[in-house]
Amino acid sequence: MNRYLTIHIPETSAPAPVSHFLRTQAGLTKKQISQAKFRPGGVQKNGQQCRVTETAYPGDQITVCLETNDVDSAQLESAPAPQFLPELEILYEDQDILAVNKPAGIVTHPSGSHYSDSLSNQVAAYFRSKGESTKVRSIGRLDKETSGILLFARNQTAAARLQKQRESGISEKTYLAAVSGSMPEDTDGAFHRITTPLAPDPKTRLKMVISPDGSLPGSKPAETLYSVLKSTAPDSRISASLVMLRLKTGRTHQIRVHMASIHHPVAGDPVYGPHNCITSLHGQCLHAKTLGFVHPITGEYLRFDSDLPDYFTHFLATLRRKNP
C-alpha cells in the first residue's frame, strides 16, 4: 500500500518553500523529495498537489508520498516462498517497520547456496501474503548461527532514518552470549572494552581475524563492550560465563572474533573456538536480546526484547545447577 506522511507547519514558523519543511520537519533528503514528486499524490499542500518550490505558511498541512505499492525486490519476488523455514516470529509491526526474532541457522540475506531460504526471502513472502510488494530492507544483519532481533524498514524514508540512528549510535542493541571459560563477574555492572581491529583472514575467505596493529589487508577498527553477568566456579565440570555485549562498530563476526581473541569463544561456535569451546550444543549461544530506537516516522522511542532459543536456555540452566 502507499505510505503517506503528513506534517503541520507550526504557527511560529516563518513562511518558506514546501521543500524546506520537507527537509527540516520530515527529514527527507533532496533525492527523496525529488522521487516523491513522481509518486501517486506526490506532494500536496492543504489537500492540493503542489510544487515543492511553493511557499508554505503557518497552519498549512503538507502531505508527501513516501512509498508506493509497486516497489519490490526482483530477486526476492522471483524466489519461491520458503516453506521449509520456521514460522516468522513477529515482535512488532506497523506500516513503517517490522521487527522479528530470527532463529539460528538462517542467513539474513540471499547468497550463493542460500538464494531462496534466507530470512529476507521469508519476510518478502510474508509481505506478499498480505498483498503487499514492499521492498525488503533489513537494518543491519545477523550471522547465520546468531539468533535474535532483526529490524526491517517498510519504506525508503524509514530505512534511511533507522540506518542513520544505527551509524550514529542512537539505537541500542544488547546481545547475550555464553562463552567458554570462567570470568570474574562484574557485580557493579561495569563494561570492559575490546578495541582490536579486525580483517578478513588471508588464508580463509569466510573467516575474520584480529589485526592488532591494523596492518593486515582490509583491516577496520572494531569496538566491543562486554560485562560478565554470571560465571561458573573455576572447578566446575563445564567452565563458562554469561556475558552481555554491546557493539560500537558492526564488523563481520565481530563478537565471535573478539571474544575468541581474549580466549573466551562463544559456546557452540565451531569456527572460532573448535579446540577449547563448548561444542556439544544444538546451536551457537549468541543472541541479539534487546533493541531500542526512535521510531523513524512517529518519533516514539521503542524497545523490544526477544526470548532466548531453547538450547541456550537449557544450557544456562545447566550452568545454574553447576554453580547455584
Q: What is the pLDDT of residue 73?
A: 44
For residue 258, pLDDT over 60 is answered with: yes
For residue 323, pLDDT over 70 is answered with: no
Q: What is the pLDDT of residue 69?
A: 56
- Residue 139: φ, ψ to 5°: -100, 95
Show the domains of the chain with their CATH numbers: 3-67 (3.10.290.10), 74-170 (3.30.2350.10), 174-289+310-322 (3.30.2350.10)
Instruction: Let me know if 96 is a catalytic residue.
Output: no
Percent residues over pLDDT 70 in the chain: 89
Look over the chain and give the mean of its residue pLDDT values, rounded to a whole number. Answer: 86
Higher pLDDT, 113 or 264: 264
Instruction: Give the mean model confidence (pLDDT) for residues 70-77.
Output: 46
Q: What is the pLDDT of residue 65?
A: 87
Q: What is the pLDDT of residue 84?
A: 57
Q: Which of 70, 143, 305, 307 is catalytic?
A: 143
Best-predicted range by mean pLDDT among 20-24, 115-119, 123-127, 287-291? Answer: 287-291
Instruction: Give the mean model confidence (pLDDT) for residues 141-154.
Output: 94
Lowest mean pLDDT among 8-22, 130-144, 166-180: 130-144
Q: What is the pLDDT of residue 50?
A: 92
Instruction: Give the mean model confidence (pLDDT) for residues 47-62.
Output: 93
Count of residues for the chain? 324
